[in-house]
Structure 1
């Protein structure tokens, strides 16, 4: 933990117990209502998928979870929001976030959700590679499934990290990282590393805060009731990009926690839906 953005955190982190370090990244424990919020989202997503079954389970790679769900707009040249689910790279499924497509689809956009293999079955480096593989597939086959327009690559929590890592892909026009983790070094000292098994090299090469800035629009959002570690990562990534004059707003969502922030992407009039629309020129 020696990079410039971490120097202010090192002393405090060093004084913390293992239990305190675990709590610093335990979003579920920080939001007692999270089980009910997750159950409601999963139920809504199940209903949404049942109503929009045409573009489901499109294979992009050989592993079980290497599948796309594409909810295409009527206009194949409409923009597409690609949403990568979270779960600290070790839990959750794309299917359980389908209802988030409702927000942008109300504005004539497509929405697509890629699945990816979870840790510890593969490493985080391999997960990042799978997202790039999924985007390669979308570049080559998306038009055949109604997605030929510009892509905004988004994600929440671990998906926010993966969105930041995928911003450089040539198929991506802009990005939107929501409640993400952008410095991986501290995770090695928490319960999360039992499955992630991060190495020093992975922490260095897979932390967006340690990588060259990609000069594409990237909106970065967090809830004002998020854990401090995630708030700091979002602010630091925006500051790093701003220092290089890279475009994209920092969006603190008032009153939102790590889970309720997704309401602002699901709602057609939500703050994050509006921000997504604003990442591309108006057609």
Structure 2
């Protein structure tokens, strides 16, 4: 299968519109039940995060949405908030500008600012988790010491394979930029400092060979350098349904993220 086919998740999952429609429906219900605060982290129209707050002293986790850095916004993913609120954990979902209006490096700068704003508000490095492009950015935040731990769901950690695909029409990556923005080439979190030494690489077991390879490669690479890593392919799930566990209060994935947040809170301050 060509790289174009391996990374074209919408073509690989013909019923993805139905899955995304469920995202929208659950998001509307969640926003109606618990309207989020819209908090600016910068001056731009998309420089904000939605905060679903469980309480003034609650732990906060950060979800970075996917869309190949060129689609979607936090409003698609509000439906995951109830699973975290039920455990007394607040959820922040940042927005950011999209390619081709900006370069990927600018998106990373915005995500840094958003995560730092959450950190300043809570006084702790948050656990950051993200899907697809958001998995890439979650690993970047961990590398930089901005996250207490990271859970990357179907992440892309090496951007070079995207260069020959149609996805690059909007990303406009060349070899040098792809290498510079790929967390496989970034420093691993410093294990001698508190926090930031756990990376879970979760992926749908039914995803393309490239997505499986990316997650296993990242877990093996950073694990070999002293980071506590997990490679966790979830049976029967594809690139879209891999998010299903985030809507389930009792899922192992939700409990894992909350457990990481609790561990980091007890052990490490900002």
**Is TM (by shorter chain) over 0.5?**
yes
Deviation, 1:64, is 1.5
Task: Indicate conservation of the 8 Å contact 1:132/1:169, yes or no.
Answer: no
The residue correspondences of 1:188-227 to structure 2 (distance < 5 A) are 188-215=163-190, 216-227=197-208
Structure 2 equivalent of residue 156 of structure 1: 131
Deviation, 1:60, is 1.0
Structure 1 residues 277 and 53, CA gap change in structure 2 (3 angstroms): closer
Following the alignment from structure 2 to structure 1, what is the Cα–Cα distance between the partners of residues 124 and 29?
Answer: 27
Task: Indicate conservation of the 8 Å contact 1:263/1:270, yes or no.
Answer: no
Three-state SS of the structure 2 residue aligned to 1:278 is: helix
Structure 1 equivalent of residue 236 of structure 2: 255
Structure 2 equivalent of residue 175 of structure 1: 150
Within the candidate set 206, 210, 226, 1:245 is matched to 226
Following the alignment from structure 2 to structure 1, what is the Cα–Cα distance between the partners of residues 43 and 181?
Answer: 23
User: Structure 1 stretch 252-261 or stretch 76-85: which is displaced more?
Assistant: 76-85
Structure 2 equivalent of residue 78 of structure 1: 58
Deviation, 1:270, is 1.3
Task: Indicate conservation of the 8 Å contact 2:98/2:107, yes or no.
Answer: yes
User: Structure 1 stretch 113-122 or stretch 195-204: which is displaced more?
Assistant: 195-204
Deviation, 1:21, is 2.5
Following the alignment from structure 1 to structure 2, what is the Cα–Cα distance between the partners of residues 220 and 80?
Answer: 20
Following the alignment from structure 1 to structure 2, what is the Cα–Cα distance between the partners of residues 221 and 135?
Answer: 21
Structure 1 equivalent of residue 31 of structure 2: 49
TM-score by length of 1: 0.86
Structure 1 residues 54 and 188, CA gap change in structure 2 (3 angstroms): closer
Deviation, 1:281, is 4.6
Deviation, 1:280, is 4.0
Task: Indicate conservation of the 8 Å contact 1:135/1:169, yes or no.
Answer: no
Give CA-to-partner distance per residue, 1:234-253, whole Å, 9 cap, x none.
00000001101211322111
Three-state SS of the structure 1 residue aligned to 2:98 is: coil
Following the alignment from structure 2 to structure 1, what is the Cα–Cα distance between the partners of residues 125 and 87?
Answer: 15
Following the alignment from structure 2 to structure 1, what is the Cα–Cα distance between the partners of residues 6 and 36?
Answer: 41
TM-score by length of 2: 0.90
Following the alignment from structure 2 to structure 1, what is the Cα–Cα distance between the partners of residues 163 and 114?
Answer: 27
Within the candidate set 67, 81, 94, 2:74 is matched to 94
User: Structure 1 stretch 22-31 or stretch 160-169: which is displaced more?
Assistant: 160-169
Structure 1 equivalent of residue 14 of structure 2: 32
Give CA-to-partner distance per residue, 1:205-243, whole Å, 9 cap, x none.
111112221242111100100111111000000000110
